[in-house]
Structure 1
């Protein structure tokens, strides 16, 4: 059960599995809402493995963000991607690379992700959108077919729900996907024309 929000404070939380392995580190002003999102979007990855959570309340979101980044970079949680130590820069003392399981899934699902041969840098949402468009072109998704739910796509690609929604917006603007419904009833379909 998530602790209640504390006005003026931000929760720094860490989820562990039964063996004590750190799964995920995050911050939030509203643990109940944030953890409900984790339960939905990490349902096939780390959420079912979580057996214990620790929560430290920090005054000020900026201070909490610094503590979160430090925890990610020194504790190497299995499922954090953002903030993980990069091979593109020198690591600070005490840092060690995160396993970045979500980033590995992203690369597997998009065929390498950011830098395809002969192409410039791509954002994650662009890589996801191009992969889904490729699924349509290859006949894996037909005209008028309903796409998997946002939660299923999040789990397939190892990205956040916000990144997935940006990818779907790209496909809508390009006329490749249609959005039907609103709120929790929103569904996405391959454009029929």
Structure 2
């Protein structure tokens, strides 16, 4: 007897004025919503739920969820709901520095991408594994470069979401008091 196809629901949660709050996948929407109600602070905003059943494997459903989040930009999805820094591993320079200077050379390459505007505030950086492979260094070297850039405020790491270009905060000195003329 053949195995029945997996049934996975792609669901959307809406708030007032049909504002899209969240997109997810599950094989049991009611149970998933109970978990959201227990753990998501924004659940009280949900006014409408929409479910579309997919005839797809779980892996295919994950890809559909990811594409839908990127396209529709729901308010409370963190994962997949951001721009990705442009990265061509084949064109990325290989680092030929001395072993103890490799992390610094990689940090300089990342700084250059940010300073040039190619990687912009809010963009997610390439995965450490991809950067390591493209640069010809180990993942530990990438992590050390990331730590340096985090410490200087160029990038930020968000647990479970990735590493992002940090927005620059410009501080403007307060105006001096001027005497009326």
Taking structure 1 as the reference length, the TM-score comes to 0.43
> Which protein has the larger Cα radius of gyration, Structure 1 or Structure 2?
2
Taking structure 2 as the reference length, the TM-score comes to 0.45
